[in-house]
Structure formats: C-alpha cells, structure tokens
Structure 1
Amino acid sequence: MIEDRKLAVLRAIVEDYVATQEPVGSKTLVERHRLGVSPATVRNDMAWLEDEGLIAQPHTSAGRIPTDKGYRFFVDRLTSLKPMSAAEKRAIATFLEGAHDLDDVVQRSVRLLAQLTQQVAIVQYPTLARSTVRHVELVALSTSRLLAVLILSTGRVEQRVIEVPVELTDDLIGDLRSRVNKTAAGARISDAAAALGDLPDDVAPDNRSTYSIVVAALVEAISDHRSDERVVVGGTANLARFGESFDQSIKPMLEALEEHVVLLKLLGEATSPSEVTVRIGHEGPIDELASTSVVVTGYGSSDEALASLGIVGPTRMDYPGSMAAVRAVARYVSTILDEG
C-alpha cells in the first residue's frame, strides 16, 4: 500500500509532467504544490516511488517522470473525473443534436472527441446483433415492387426493393405492414428474424408466396452484419503534436491506426456505458502503439453497450479530462440513439 503523502507526490508529478512535458524535481514540487512537508521529505518520497517503479529519471541530474506503472497507479486511484464545464456540455449537446442520421451521429462524435481531447478519436458503429427492430415501413414503388425500410434501435436503416408476384393493393400492403410490425417491432433482431420466418404460416394460402418473399427480404436485411465492425477515426494529425512523447517513430503508429483490425482491438469488447476503461502503454494489444494510452467506453440505448468509442494519445495525457470527455460524448450519443 502507498501512503497518502506519497500518493500526493506521485499525483503532483503526473500533473506537472502532463502540463509541462518536463521532468519534475523536488524543488518544483515544493514550490507548486502544498504538500505540507519539507523538500527533504519529498526527495525521500520520490526515491521510494522510483524504487517502486512508479517514476523514473530519464537522465542524470534530471527530475522524474511517471512510468506506465505510475500512470496506472494514478488512474486507478482517481476519486473523480474532471467535470465538464456548462459551456462544454452545451457545445456537446448542440453539436450532436444537429445530426440527422446514424452516419452523421458517428462522424460528429469523432470530430467532437478529437477536438475536446486533442487526441485521436475512434468511434465504432453500433453493433447490429445487439439492436432491436424499431419499425418496418412498406411503400409501393409500382404495382409489383415494394420498398421495405427497416429501422433499428441503433438508428441504422436498412432498405430492400422487393419484387412480388401479385398486384399490390393498399389492403395487402396495410396487412403486410401490420403483421410485420406486430411480429418484429421491439424484438431483438435474432428473435425478430425467427418470428418473421413463421409469419407466412399464419396467412391465407393465396397470399403465402407474397408474404414469404417479403419476409425473406426482411430477414436478410436483419441478418446483414456487414457494417457491424465499421470504425471511424478522426484527429490522427493530433499525434504529431506529441512527437517527442513517443519512444519510437510516429510513422508505425499512424500506419497501425490505418488498420481496421487494430482499431477494433483498441476498442476491445463494448463495455457498459457507465464504465470508462483505460489501457496504458504496454497494457494495450498493439506493439506499435506501446507508447500510447487508450481511453474507451461503451455507448448504447440501454445498460448494454451497442458499440464503443474512445481516444488514443500519448501516455502523457490528461487522464481525468480525457476520461470525462469520452464518458460525456458516449452519454450524449446514447441519449440521441434512445430518442431517435
């Protein structure tokens, strides 16, 4: 266990190093922070922190900088996140509420996260498998062609043009629409697909072929997972601002961030929207990004996350501020999806 005074010294070193990018000495700590102890005591505490691998001396006669272990210790003992200001909250709400569809929500979220944190932002599209059917609309395009519009709880919209072997009438379309929505609306997509598959058995034999064709198209749309792993990235140029913070060339990092599978690994499994996960340095899954930290949370229209969003930046980042920004954007996106 680390005593409160040593934790205060570690916290001060992290905060100063994040702010200045300069190694922190004992004299600086005493001058800037009200630690309530003598410089000699601070030096002893710093020596203990260094022995524990929480801080390191980059070169002789220099101050100390936090190690990955030190950042982890700091993050794990955060008692609160930096609150978003009223102006920031209004800006987030206004920016995101202006979105007119799911693609716009995702694109705006990426830009907003990158601007708020000055890091690389990553947003995963909502996962289809975890969504529910919100509504199915059927519109006649001609006497034998039907447009089916499937609207999911994630805000995703799937469309299919369906050719039917009979003449479409208002009564037939109305009955189709009523039966399909009664069967599928509100159900998880796996349950909706199964229930729709049984629907043709409940109609008159003369209409069974038409209902089977429409249901087959809807089940195909529901089961289409091609966009389940779509990921959008923004703010990669922000990494260049922190070039001196990395242990290696920035090029491999940028190349890694262009790989789709890398982005999915960084986001990991979507977690609860109420939890923010931080992976620091070598804790991450990608060697090329071992000099970075990842802050991720889930978002969704319920307690279960539909997908993840987060940021990637140098280990020398403002963790309380970054975590608060990631959490705030995720909550606003969740609210938009829930109200959509």
Structure 2
Amino acid sequence: MLSERRLQVLRAIVQDYVGTEEPVGSKALTERHSLGVSPATVRNDMAALEDEGFIAQPHTSAGRIPTDKGYRLFVDKLAEVKPMTAPERRAIHNFLDGAVDLDDVVARTVRLLAQLTRQVAVVQYPSLTRSTVRHVELLALAPARVMLVLITDTGRVEQRMIDCPAPFGETSLADLRARLNSRVAGRRFTDVPQLVEDLPDGFDVEDRGTVATVLSTLLETLVEENEERLVIGGTANLTRFAHDFPLTIRPVLEALEEQVVMLRLLGETQNPGMTVRIGHENAHEGLNSTSIVSVGYGSGGEAVAKLGVVGPTRMDYPGTMGAVRAVARYVGQILAES
C-alpha cells in the first residue's frame, strides 16, 4: 500500500510526463510541484515506486516514466475527472443537436470525440438486443404491397418492402398495425418473437397469410440488424503520438481495422460506467501500447451501446474521461428526445 506522499509523487510524475513527453527527474518534480519535501526524499520515493513497478527508467541517464501499473493506480485514485467548461458543453450540445437521424448522431459523435480528445474515437451503434420498439408503422403502397417501418427507442429506423400473398385492405392493415403495436411497443427486441407468435390466429383465415408474411419480415429485420456495428474516426491522430508506440503504429492500426476486436473489447465489460483499459490490460497484442477509455450511453438511464477513445498510454486521463463522459451524456439526451 503506497503512502499518500508516494502517491502524490506518482501523480506528479504522470502529470509531468503526459504534459512534457519527457522522463521526469526528482529535481524537476520538486520545482514544479509543492511536494513539501527535499529532492533527496523525492529520489527515495521514486526509487521505492520503481521497485514496486509503478515507474521505470527508459535510459540509464534519464528520469522516470510511468508504467502500465503506475497509470492504473493513477486512474484508480483519481478524485474526479476533469469537468467540461460551459463553452465546451455548449459546443457539444450544439454540434450534436443538429443530427437528423441515428446515423448522423453516430457520425457526429465520432468526429466530436476525436476533436475533443485528439485521440481515435470509437462509437458502437445501439445494440438491438438491448433496444426496445418505439413504433411499427405499416403503409399500403399497393393492394398487395406494404412498407414496414420499424422505429426503435434509440431513433433507429428500418424500412422493408413486403409483397403480400393477397390484397390487404386499409381496414385490415390498420387493425394489424394497432394489434402489433399493442403487443410490441415498449418491449425489448429479444421479446418480440414470442409476443407475436399467435397474432395471426386473431385474423380472418383469408388474411392470415398476409399477417404471417408481415411478421416474418419483421423478425427477419431483427435478425439482419442484430449485427453489432461501430464507427471509428480520427485515426490520423495516432501519427501525433508515433513516438509513444514501440517501433511502429501499424499493430494499432491493424487492430482498429478489425471491428470484431474492438467490439469484443468494448463488450468484455458489462459495466455501463466508465471503463479504462491500460496497456497490457487489453487482450489484443496490437493494443498493448494503448489505453481505451469507454462508457455506456443510451436513453432512459439504460446503456444500449458504448463509445470511447483509443490512444497511447501517455494520455491525459482526467481530461479524456471527462470528455467521453460528457459526450455520452449528451448523446443519451438526444436519443431520448428523438
């Protein structure tokens, strides 16, 4: 267990290294921070921190830099994340508020996160397995042709054209629409198959074929759209930190290109709260030199997906965590209002 003073020294090392990109020495620490002790005492504390694996010496003549273990303790002991300023909050709200649909919300969120944090932004599309039905609309395009429009609680809209086995009148279509929504509106997508299983039985025999066709299309839509998707932006930001990655940034870029890898990393923790994975805590070898900061977002207080950033372990954790949390909160508000 580290003493409070050594924890204070570790915090100072992390802050200085993140800010200067240079290994930190005891003299610089005592000059920049009010540690209340002599450089000799700081040197002793740094030696103890190094012995315990919290900091390391990259070169014989250099100062010290934090290790993954040091960053982890720094993050775990954060008293608070850096709050966004009022102008920053207004800018976030104004930028996201102009979105016209879910795709636009996701695209804007990726750009915004990348700009705010100057890292690689990752936004997962809301998962239909955790989404609920807001409304199902059925529109007659021809006597035997219907458009099905599925709207989720996250604002996601899916449309399908249905060729019915027989003409289906407006009255019957309105009846089906009403019965369908009475069963599935507000319910999870995963519950829909069971909820509509016996729905055709309540219709006249001559209409049951069309009702079954509509329901089949609805269920197929759920299966088709159940594939997890994510959007990544700001990969060019990695070039700003090329010296933070051993040898080359190629392994990081290759890992980012594999959406399955990123989806797995985002989904490994079921905790919708703030998650910070540092260095070798990331299972994928290509991301061992990165940190991933993520948090769940959604409407109604329930997370339906995650968003976050990927960057070098030498990261402004308080600022990054504050930005990620703020953006997630605003995205949730927009989804709730859509």
Q: Which residue of 2 aligns with 1:39?
A: 39
Q: Which residue of 2 aligns with 1:108?
A: 108
**Equivalent residue runs for 1:78-157 within 5 Å:** 78-157=78-157
CA distance in structure 1 between the aligned counterparts of 2:270 and 2:96, rounded to whole angstroms = 22
**Partner AA of 1:66 in structure 2:** P
1:247 Cα deviation after fit = 1.6
On the 8 A contact 2:265/2:282 being kept in 1, the answer is yes
CA distance in structure 1 between the aligned counterparts of 2:132 and 2:115, rounded to whole angstroms = 32
Matched, 1:263 2:270: no
On the 8 A contact 1:296/1:311 being kept in 2, the answer is yes
Match of 1:326 among 319, 324, 331: 324
CA distance in structure 2 between the aligned counterparts of 1:163 and 1:96, rounded to whole angstroms = 38
Provide the aligned C-alpha RMSD in A.
1.5
1:272 Cα deviation after fit = 4.2
Matched, 1:51 2:58: no
Partner secondary structure for residue 53 of structure 1: coil
CA distance in structure 1 between the aligned counterparts of 2:92 and 2:270, rounded to whole angstroms = 22
CA distance in structure 2 between the aligned counterparts of 1:190 and 1:49, rounded to whole angstroms = 50
1:8 Cα deviation after fit = 0.6
**Partner AA of 1:305 in structure 2:** A
**Equivalent residue runs for 1:159-174 within 5 Å:** 159-174=159-174
Deviations 1:23-57 (A, max 9, x none): 11111111111111111111111111111111111
Deviations 1:33-87 (A, max 9, x none): 1111111111111111111111111112211111111101101101100011111
Q: Which residue of 2 aligns with 1:339?
A: 337
Deviations 1:118-169 (A, max 9, x none): 0011111111111111001111111211111011112221211112234333
On the 8 A contact 1:128/1:154 being kept in 2, the answer is no
On the 8 A contact 1:12/1:33 being kept in 2, the answer is yes
CA distance in structure 1 between the aligned counterparts of 2:269 and 2:308, rounded to whole angstroms = 11
In structure 2, runs of 5+ residues without a counterpart are none
**Equivalent residue runs for 1:146-225 within 5 Å:** 146-225=146-225
Matched, 1:231 2:230: yes
Partner secondary structure for residue 116 of structure 1: helix
Q: Which residue of 2 aligns with 1:311?
A: 309
On the 8 A contact 1:197/1:216 being kept in 2, the answer is no
Partner secondary structure for residue 127 of structure 1: coil
Runs of 4+ deviating beyond 6 Å = none
CA distance in structure 2 between the aligned counterparts of 1:14 and 1:239, rounded to whole angstroms = 20
Partner secondary structure for residue 151 of structure 2: strand
Give the TM-score of the pair, scaled to structure 1: 0.95
On the 8 A contact 2:241/2:312 being kept in 1, the answer is yes
Give the TM-score of the pair, scaled to structure 2: 0.96
1:110 Cα deviation after fit = 0.7
1:270 Cα deviation after fit = 5.9
CA distance in structure 1 between the aligned counterparts of 2:151 and 2:318, rounded to whole angstroms = 37
CA distance in structure 1 between the aligned counterparts of 2:296 and 2:198, rounded to whole angstroms = 34
CA distance in structure 1 between the aligned counterparts of 2:181 and 2:123, rounded to whole angstroms = 31
On the 8 A contact 1:136/1:180 being kept in 2, the answer is yes
CA distance in structure 1 between the aligned counterparts of 2:264 and 2:168, rounded to whole angstroms = 48
Larger displacement relative to structure 2 (299-308 or 240-249): 299-308
Partner secondary structure for residue 36 of structure 1: coil
On the 8 A contact 1:193/1:222 being kept in 2, the answer is no
Count of residues paired in the alignment: 338
1:252 Cα deviation after fit = 2.1
Q: Which residue of 2 aligns with 1:241?
A: 240
Call closer, same or farther: CA 1:272–1:252 in 2, change over 3 Å. closer
Matched, 1:252 2:245: no
On the 8 A contact 2:12/2:33 being kept in 1, the answer is yes
Matched, 1:67 2:67: yes
1:229 Cα deviation after fit = 1.5
1:209 Cα deviation after fit = 2.1
Deviations 1:90-127 (A, max 9, x none): 11111111111111111111111111100011111111
Q: Which residue of 2 aligns with 1:300?
A: 298
1:210 Cα deviation after fit = 2.2
**Partner AA of 2:135 in structure 1:** H
CA distance in structure 2 between the aligned counterparts of 1:68 and 1:222, rounded to whole angstroms = 41
CA distance in structure 1 between the aligned counterparts of 2:203 and 2:119, rounded to whole angstroms = 56
On the 8 A contact 2:136/2:150 being kept in 1, the answer is yes
